Amino acid sequence: MNEPIRNRRLSPVTLIAAVLVTAGFALTAVSWGFLVLAAVGAFGPGILRELGWVRDKDELQMQAAYRAGYHAYLAGGLVAMLLIARVRSSAADLSLSDELGTAILSVMWFTWLISSLHAYWGGYRTAQRILIIFGSVWLLFNILGNLQGGVTALLMQSLLAVPFFALAWLARRWPRPAGVLLLGTAAFCGYFFHLYEVFGADPFSRGRIEVAVLFMGPLLACGLMLLADRDSAGDGVEGGLQA
C-alpha cells in the first residue's frame, strides 16, 4: 500500500489496547508481572481479529496491519539471526544473554509501530508526531526516574528529550534539512551515549540494544522518512513513502 490511510478514527479496541500497553509498561516499575497487560494489549486485538471475533478494521486498514506485521517479521528475524550467530560464535561472557528475547522483541515492536503509523499518517506527519511522542515518553521516564536524585540530576536527564522536541518543530518548517539533522543527531547520540557498544564484546549488557532501538530508532526512522518523502519539501505536507 503506497498511500497513507486518512480520515479513519481509531476503534475502541485499538484505544483499549493502547491503554493496556501503556499501563503494562508503566507498572513494570512495580512488578514485571504487569508486562502481561502489555502483552494482552499488543497482541490480543490482532488475535481476536484473525479469529473473526472483532471486525473493527476495513480492508485498507487490514492491509496496513499485515504490511506492518511483515516488516516486523523481517526486522525481528534479521536481528534474531545476527544475535544468535554472535552468541554461538563468541567466546565472550554471555551471562546477560537472557536479554536476547527482550532485544529482539523491542526491534520487532518498534518496526511494527513505525510501519503502522506511517500507513495511517504518511511520512511527514509520522515523523513529526513520533518525535513529539517519543520526546514526551523520554521526558516522563526521566522525571519519574530522577525524583530522588535532586534538581540538577533531574534537569540533566530531562535534556535527553530536547532533541526530539526541537527537531519536531524544525521538521514542520524545513522537513528535508530536519531529516539530515535527525540522522546526524542519531549518530552523535550513539557516540555520546556509547550506544555503539551494542556491537562490542557484550551487546546485551545494560539493555544496550533496547536503548539503541528506543532512543536512536525514532531519530533514524524519522530522518529517513523526511528525506524519502517526495512531498516533504513544503510546509504542512502529508506525503507518504512509496513502498
Stretch 74-85: mean pLDDT, rounded? 87
Cα(222)–Cα(196) distance, integer angstroms: 20
| Contact predicate 21/38, CB 8 Å | yes
- How many Å separate Cα 190 from the centre of its chain? 16
Stretch 93-97: mean pLDDT, rounded? 55
Domain ranges in the chain?
Answer: 1-57, 58-228
Cα(153)–Cα(143) distance, integer angstroms: 10
107 against 199, higher pLDDT: 107
| Contact predicate 230/222, CB 8 Å | no
Q: How confident is the model at residue 143 (pLDDT cuts 50, 70, 90)?
A: confident
Q: How confident is the model at residue 205 (pLDDT cuts 50, 70, 90)?
A: low
Stretch 102-108: mean pLDDT, rounded? 86
Residue whose grid cell is 542519531? 186
Residue 200, Cβ density class (10 Å: 0-12 exposed, 13-18 middle, ≥19 buried): exposed
pLDDT tens per residue across span 212-223: 787 788 888 888
Phi-psi region of 206 (alpha: psi -120 to 50; beta: other; left: phi over 0): left
- How many Å separate Cα 206 from the centre of its chain? 19
Cα(112)–Cα(134) distance, integer angstroms: 15
Given a cut of 70, is residue 2 above it in pLDDT?
A: no
Cα(23)–Cα(152) distance, integer angstroms: 29
Q: How confident is the model at residue 238 (pLDDT cuts 50, 70, 90)?
A: very low
pTM for this model (two decimals): 0.73
